[in-house]
Amino acid sequence: NAGVTQTPKFRILKIGQSMTLQCAQDMNHNYMYWYRQDPGMGLKLIYYSVGAGITDKGEVPNGYNVSRSTTEDFPLRLELAAPSQTSVYFCASSRPGGEETQYFGPGTRLLVL
Amino acid sequence: EDQVTQSPEALRLQEGESSSLNCSYTVSGLRGLFWYRQDPGKGPEFLFTLYSAGEEKEKERLKATLTKKESFLHITAPKPEDSATYLCAVQANTGNQFYFGTGTSLTVIP
């Protein structure tokens, strides 16, 4: 199993541009999450999904959109990028049950200039 | 409001010098408390899940314990390869979200 994969690894965007961060998992997990991590800060939840077709906002959803058309994929869309969205983005997945451990991808480093 | 606080922010240990990391939490009904290890430039890697006060789990030189208000990650005789940032997270009974602390950066000096 590849686990959780994310693309791209690094991207530079200009202010106002848009992009999609890709996330895929091959563990048949129902739950998927998007976090951002800023220096000295904890992971902050942007959006999460409990299954295909179901998404919900986390702590910091403004400026982002998500969709979940399949169990495997959970892309994160940035519209009109702003410098405040410079961060490292992590995707995670988990299977609800007795041990709801989250498995994380390697991250996407985004720089908005 | 659900909240997680980790201390200290940074910790430097000599190889073999045991110590503990603290994670205090406020949550409206704990579903689970999670410890992760994060190496620079990588995603967090799962270590332990604890569900109820009094529970303990061990893995090599690491031991995690849980009380009603806090969790400790004990590191016994650490080695340089234990150097990393250790993250704590909680999940409440009332929702699907995880709340993370800011982490403890551990450096083990040979």
Chain A residues interacting with chain B (CB cutoff of 8 angstroms) = 4, 31, 33, 35, 40-45, 48, 50, 56, 58-59, 90, 92, 96, 99-107
Check residue A98 and give its pLDDT: 45
Q: Is B103 on the interface with A (CB under 8 A)?
A: yes
Give me chain B's average pLDDT, please: 94
Question: How many residues comprise chain B?
Answer: 110
pLDDT category at B27 given cuts 50, 70, 90 is confident
DSSP symbols for B46-71: EEEEE-STT-EEEETTEEEEE-SSEE
pLDDT category at A60 given cuts 50, 70, 90 is very high
Half-sphere exposure of B36 (CA within 13 A, CB side): 25
Check residue A97 and give its pLDDT: 58
Q: Is there a contact between B80 and B93 (Cβ–Cβ < 8 Å)?
A: no
Q: Which of residues 73-92 of B touch A (CB under 8 A)?
A: 87, 89, 91
B43 chain-A contacts, CB cut-off 8 A = 4, 90, 92, 104-107
Percentage, residues of chain A above pLDDT 90: 82
**Overall average pLDDT of the A35-45 stretch:** 91
Substitution target in B30, B37, B52, B98 with the highest count of A β-carbons within 10 Å is B98
pLDDT category at A41 given cuts 50, 70, 90 is confident
Which pair of tokens denotes residue B105?
């950066």
Q: Is there a contact between A65 and A81 (Cβ–Cβ < 8 Å)?
A: no
pLDDT tens for B57-90 read 999 999 999 999 999 999 999 999 999 999 999 9
Check residue A99 and give its pLDDT: 55
Q: Contact A43/B100, CB-based, under 8 Å?
A: yes
Check residue B8 and give its pLDDT: 97
C-alpha dist (Å) from residue A111 to A7, A81, A92: 14, 10, 21
Measured CA to CA, the distance from residue B88 to residue B51 in angstroms comes to 13
**Overall average pLDDT of the A29-58 stretch:** 92
